[in-house]
Structure 1
């Protein structure tokens, strides 16, 4: 009987250890001393501003728009969350920890937990859904300044936008705008594909080309005149884009691989959705000139400029027909 009891207790002890181990793996271990579900920067306007800079720095604007209004990827300003809009879900999504997610997982290795929380704080400031907007932020007088800015929305009418990633951008130098620190973006190489296919960035951005395949890749650009050499799995090779323009990205061992880095003068740009719709938020009041780019537009179509007048606190809608 004593032996049976010992065996019984030993079995349950092992099961307990196993359950604790599995729970630890599934839940993760916070690196800053707070639970995954708790944002330490809730209602912090300064952290929100830092979060927006990080959002621009790592290239989130390329898909979600510079102001979070959406484009190729969903808007961050409404109530439509594919996997849920709570802090814990957003944290795990950005870190690449949701098994079902389609968003790039590479950000988990680029951003620290602290930086992820700051980006989520900024999302809370811009999100207009009362069910998910933090109550402290919604009633605070210390929200990031938006006076003097407006919103540009619209649609690009061209047969190519349904098939090819399209960028709408302000083609002007914007007085007073400058990055608060170094800008970094990531382009992955996985399954012999550059991800994303089109990466819009601001001039001065350092792009990290990550190889996620179990064989070597290369990155070179005819327009840029650079060849970054070969990279094994897990290695990043980098290049800083110092001049505006469109730079084709190719891989010598895999000629079927093709992507584009679109280098812009400022962060006021967005990718369209498949219907050509776009939204650019936080645009300073003034008269600006829009351009449209995708890989199928003819040179004269891509060079066409559209004048738009932005007024503070207002939304202007335009139709662009290259």
Structure 2
């Protein structure tokens, strides 16, 4: 049996089939996006090849996952800044922040440590964060940085010196007014001058900040610049300086705890701490301390406190505060510890003979 149809009917039938098929394809290719899910755009710049670097991201309620810069799977999506990736993060609507690490599959990190994205702006109804990062720098830019160098590190190298490391050649001309130095209490620190140091592409480009007064041992320092970024200083080679040794070497033999039946004296050497606390516990595995005592700053970078009464068997730790950081640690001079070795114990040594 022969079936015939007019050209118009055939065209209409073909168009109908095409619409249905394309509609099905569209539905399959573009799944719906959950309202409120966050979008992250990261621009990453480095001088070496970008392969195999990627981004490890996580947020509240989600395990970490690797996200590749190459959206096509063929080549890295490079703009005039560097590699760039854009990702929608499923289930992130209620997350307060998104953590990220630039890393390789072998977990080489650039730089070391976790960073967090906390500010998102509404872009076409999508909470979006767009940031720029540079190799070796922990600083996060929220707008594209200029070609100026970035501050990579700050290191206290003398009682009046802090060495800065940049990722590019640093011009000292009229830069003093643009740098700001603050201590751990957020107090401004006076800068006297800058001294240029020799730099190489492999080791960075260096300059030294000369201070008006000695650094305060026990304080972290943060150097910041509106373009170059900011860094918190570490103590660097300060421990090896003769000036430091002269000021803080302690030759006494009473470090740790000194027990008598009437009292126990505690002394610990911690010249870099802003504050030190003696923390006691009722048992070896107690989650919370029974008492916290503010220790007194003493000579040569040591801290002391005295507990009256017979303290035989008292379990204790030290809690040190340095800048914005707080660490709890066992007494390095303790003579006895709990079974797990995590806490110190005051012991009447005469009773153990």
- TM-score tier after normalising by the smaller chain length: under 0.3
TM-score by length of 2: 0.23
TM-score by length of 1: 0.25
Please identify the structure whose Cα radius of gyration is greater.
2
Q: Report the structure, 1 or 2, having the larger helix content.
A: 1
